[in-house]
Amino acid sequence: MSCCGPKGQAAWLKHPQPIPPSDINLAVAAGDVTGTVALHKFGRNPDVDTTTDPETVWGNGGVWVPPTQARQHSIASSSASDAPAGIGALTITIQGLDTNFDEIEEDITMNGATPVTSSKSYTRIHRMFVLTVGTNLRNVGTITATAITDATVSCAMDAEKGQTLHAIYTVPAGKTLYLDHIYASLNKSASTSTAAVELQTRDVSTSGTAWRVRRHMGIHSTSGVNQAFFTPALKVSEKHDIQMYVVEVSASNSDISAGFDGFLVDEVDD
């Protein structure tokens, strides 16, 4: 099946007739649309308090501060079992962006609580996930990527999850992201619990640019997931940060999940 126009342009972006979204999703997932991949980014912050909001929806808690330079990272676990002779994570994969905002990745052999230095320098880390594992079939401890230059945490994989839970992403150089869906949920049983979550973006290519709210949504612990769909899709250009941001909670210890979906498209010269 061919879905592409001249120069590998994703045809559904300029198609003269509407294409059902289900067909687009299937074609992209099957790899039939040249220069286009699906992006599904999801995160969780299990403990947002009234005294600490706002916070980013990510596993490390608190507010995510975008790095200003590429840095090597120390990778370590809170458990000695995440090591070649252990039962947990044996190797993990790191995926992110280099100093030019091009996509890079590498595999790391874990050594428990003893830090292992990444061979590559990352200006952003998009995710970490367990690649090979022992008999536990999951990472035993929390695995953290800490920047060597300033000791800040760029990424953290919670114990037993096998994948980071960060609703954060930066559009790589030479790519455009078309967001078509976001969601947020308040994972708390108290009927009085509410929260407010925002989709925010900022241009990294120009220094000093502010975060911009692109969608605001309220969530309630008894109403399940709140979703928003962009029609047409929300265009986010290269070198833009994206985050889901908890701006307010009505009760402490609020457990919040959020994420976004879209299509990442190679930029094509006309």
Q: Integer distance in angstroms from the first to the last C-alpha of the chain?
A: 24
Contact 59, 75 (CB under 8 A): no
| Same-domain check for residues 232 and 119 | no
**pLDDT for position 227:** 94
pLDDT value, residue 238: 97
Considering the domain architecture, whether residues 122 and 248 belong to the same structural domain is answered as no
CATH number at residue 238: 2.60.120.1330
- Which of 47, 24, 28 is closest to 37 using CA atoms? 28
pLDDT at 188: 72
pLDDT score, position 13: 52
Question: In 3D, which of 240, 203, 198, 238 has the Cα closest to residue 219?
Answer: 198
In a domain, 68, yes or no: no
Domain final residue pick, 133, 157, 181: 157
Q: How many domains, in total, are found in the chain?
A: 2
pLDDT of residue 224: 77
State which of 102, 124, 157 marks the end of a domain: 157
User: Rounded to an integer, what distance in angstroms lies between the CA atom of residue 147 and that of residue 136?
Assistant: 28
Domain that holds residue 107: 73-157
Q: Residue 208: what pLDDT?
A: 82
Q: Is residue 249 part of a domain?
A: yes
Q: Are 21 and 232 in contact (CB under 8 A)?
A: no
Q: In tens digits, what is the pLDDT along the chain, a chain of 270 residues?
A: 444 444 444 544 544 444 455 578 888 888 888 899 999 999 999 999 999 889 999 999 999 999 989 999 999 999 999 999 999 999 999 999 999 999 999 999 999 999 999 999 999 999 999 999 999 999 999 999 999 999 999 999 999 999 999 999 999 999 999 999 999 999 875 567 899 999 999 999 888 899 999 999 999 887 778 999 999 999 999 999 999 999 999 989 999 999 999 999 998 765
pTM for the structure as a whole? 0.88
Q: What is the pLDDT of residue 32?
A: 84
**Do 231 and 255 belong to one domain?**
yes
